[in-house]
């Protein structure tokens, strides 16, 4: 047991009492809760700390199993009637499929209202966890826990300070800064789409972020499901806006021709050369793993929010991903665990260990293990809209297929309309 984290146990006791328990440590004594998810190694160890707290508070025994074949195995288990009590999905799409087949249990009444009140951009999280049941009626099935952020721009504080540049607060200011860097003889951006068989995916993130900054969330949702065609003028415009950055020789290290061939893992290295080959790199929170060895975050490299257009008045949308908890085999302990995940203590326990971000408004930001995570968590907390990575929600043939290859074609010379038309044709072929 991780004794230092049990200071939050009183909060857990309140949760247990709220579902009919007596005192912490005894309410679920003798019950076993099975949880199946994708977490292995360090993530599993971190989740074990959270599980320890729940066991201490309730008396339940929790058995967690992780697998790198989670997506395949959970389908087999649920269809065979051998599902765990709780399944932890890395993406909403598969959870929605199982809900439509009657293989998930809706979350308790009032859960949606709680999420709206206690999560930043709460309605976004309700929307992402709500799916049609067998009858076609919408139900809340997913509770999000452990999130990551993609709407980030990485930079060197020293390079910015030496050049006298300030962090842009709006997209208009970001474009103006890019133009200023060019005027000063520098190159504003490093962009690379190379990723072996997955080449092209970094560009899909750009387009998704730009869709959220130029269109309302409901338009984004219709695009992701193809209720709005991929070749709609609004999507074409977002691709062309990406092109203003990626297909501009003056804007990109190596010129536009290098974008499609530069490996995404190598592309941020231009931030750290002397002189710098670029001043900014848009990428998700994982990218420091590919920074030069010895890079100190907050000193040698830092990040800011990929800003929204002031003129569009769409708030502060954030693109990212996250895991969601669902009930796949209903039990008293399963419902108690979902409620437990609503306590700040359940989030702060993992925040203290690192590798965890949360939109929970009730957590103490000081609980984050580093200034970097605290900054990322603040961006998430300030979000007015959160949307899941769109390509991850699209059918695999699109989101991990023609969308990727289409973006490579685009930076290689194809026009946005032709690329969007081809992606829509591929979508039509699988309907």
The pLDDT tens digits of the residues spanning 84-142 come to 999 999 989 999 999 999 999 999 999 999 999 999 999 999 999 999 999 999 999 99
**284 located within any domain:** yes
The tokens describing 379, both together, are 């961006």
For the cut 70, the answer to whether the pLDDT of residue 1 exceeds it is no
**278 located within any domain:** yes
Asked whether residue 237 falls in the same domain as residue 352, the answer is no
Averaged pLDDT for residues 142-157? 97
3-state secondary structure of 260: coil
Gyration radius (Cα) of the chain, Å: 22
Domain count, the chain: 2
Q: Model confidence over 398-431: pLDDT tens digits?
A: 999 999 999 999 999 999 999 999 999 999 999 7
Asked whether residue 325 falls in the same domain as residue 419, the answer is no
To the nearest whole percent, how much of the chain has pLDDT over 90? Answer: 93
What is the average pLDDT value for the chain, to the nearest integer?
A: 93
**146 located within any domain:** no
Asked whether residue 297 falls in the same domain as residue 324, the answer is no
Asked whether residue 49 falls in the same domain as residue 102, the answer is yes
Q: Model confidence over 166-179: pLDDT tens digits?
A: 999 999 999 999 99
Query: Distance between CA 146 and CA 149 in Å, rounded?
Result: 10
Q: How confident is the model at residue 188 (pLDDT cuts 50, 70, 90)?
A: very high
Whether the Cβ atoms of residue 401 and residue 201 lie closer than 8 Å to each other: no
For 320, the enclosing helix (H) or strand (E) is: strand 317-327
pTM of the full predicted structure? 0.92
Q: Model confidence over 222-278: pLDDT tens digits?
A: 999 999 999 999 999 999 999 999 999 999 999 999 999 999 999 999 999 999 999
* Pairing status of strand 152-155 against strand 385-388: unpaired
Q: What are phi and psi of 28, to 5 degrees?
A: -110, 20
Whether the Cβ atoms of residue 29 and residue 60 lie closer than 8 Å to each other: yes
Whether the Cβ atoms of residue 345 and residue 51 lie closer than 8 Å to each other: no
For the cut 50, the answer to whether the pLDDT of residue 22 exceeds it is no
For the cut 60, the answer to whether the pLDDT of residue 204 exceeds it is yes
Q: What are phi and psi of 166, to 5 degrees?
A: -115, 155
Q: What are phi and psi of 325, to 5 degrees?
A: -95, 135
Asked whether residue 125 falls in the same domain as residue 39, the answer is yes
Asked whether residue 281 falls in the same domain as residue 405, the answer is yes
**114 located within any domain:** yes
Whether the Cβ atoms of residue 323 and residue 90 lie closer than 8 Å to each other: yes
- Domain with residue 172: its CATH number is 3.40.190.10
Residue 243 is part of which domain span? 152-316+389-430
């Amino acid at each position: 047991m991780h004794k230092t984290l049990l200071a939050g146990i009183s909060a857990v006791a309140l949760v247990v009492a709220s579902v009919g328990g007596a005192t912490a440590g005894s309410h679920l004594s003798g019950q076993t809760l099975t949880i199946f998810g994708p977490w292995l190694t360090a993530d599993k160890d971190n989740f074990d700390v959270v599980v320890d707290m729940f066991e201490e508070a309730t008396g339940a025994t929790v058995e967690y199993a992780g697998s790198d074949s989670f997506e395949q195995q959970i389908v087999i288990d649920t269809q065979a009637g051998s599902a765990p009590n709780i399944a932890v999905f890395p993406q909403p799409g598969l959870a929605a499929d199982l809900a439509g087949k009657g293989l998930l249990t809706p979350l308790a009444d009032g859960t949606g209202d709680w999420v709206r009140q206690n999560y930043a951009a709460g309605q976004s999280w309700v929307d992402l966890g709500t799916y049609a049941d067998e009858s076609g009626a919408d139900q809340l099935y997913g509770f999000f826990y452990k999130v990551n952020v993609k709407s980030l721009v990485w930079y060197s504080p020293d390079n910015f300070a030496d050049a006298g540049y300030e962090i842009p607060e709006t997209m208009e200011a970001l474009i103006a800064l890019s133009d200023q860097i060019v005027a000063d003889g520098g190159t504003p951006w490093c962009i690379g789409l190379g990723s072996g068989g997955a080449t092209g995916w970094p560009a899909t993130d750009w387009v998704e972020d730009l869709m959220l900054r130029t269109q309302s969330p409901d338009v984004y949702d219709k695009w992701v499901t193809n209720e709005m065609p991929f070749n709609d003028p609004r999507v074409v415009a977002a691709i062309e806006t990406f092109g203003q950055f990626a297909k501009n020789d003056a804007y990109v290290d190596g010129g536009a021709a290098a974008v499609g061939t530069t490996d995404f893992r190598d592309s941020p290295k231009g931030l750290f050369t002397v002189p710098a080959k670029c001043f900014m790199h848009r990428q998700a929170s994982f990218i420091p793993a590919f920074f030069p060895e010895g890079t100190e975050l907050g000193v040698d490299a830092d990040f800011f929010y990929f800003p929204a257009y002031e003129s569009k008045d769409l708030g502060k949308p954030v693109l990212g991903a996250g895991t969601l908890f669902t009930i796949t085999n209903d039990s008293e302990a399963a419902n108690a665990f979902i409620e437990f995940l609503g306590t700040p203590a359940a989030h702060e326990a993992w925040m203290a260990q690192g590798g965890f971000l949360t939109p929970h408004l009730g957590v103490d930001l000081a609980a984050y293990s580093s200034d970097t995570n605290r900054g990322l968590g603040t961006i998430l907390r300030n979000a007015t809209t959160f949307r899941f990575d769109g390509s991850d929600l699209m059918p695999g043939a699109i989101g991990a297929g023609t969308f990727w290859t289409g973006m490579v074609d685009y930076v290689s010379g194809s026009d946005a309309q032709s690329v969007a038309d081809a992606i829509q044709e591929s979508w039509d072929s699988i309907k």
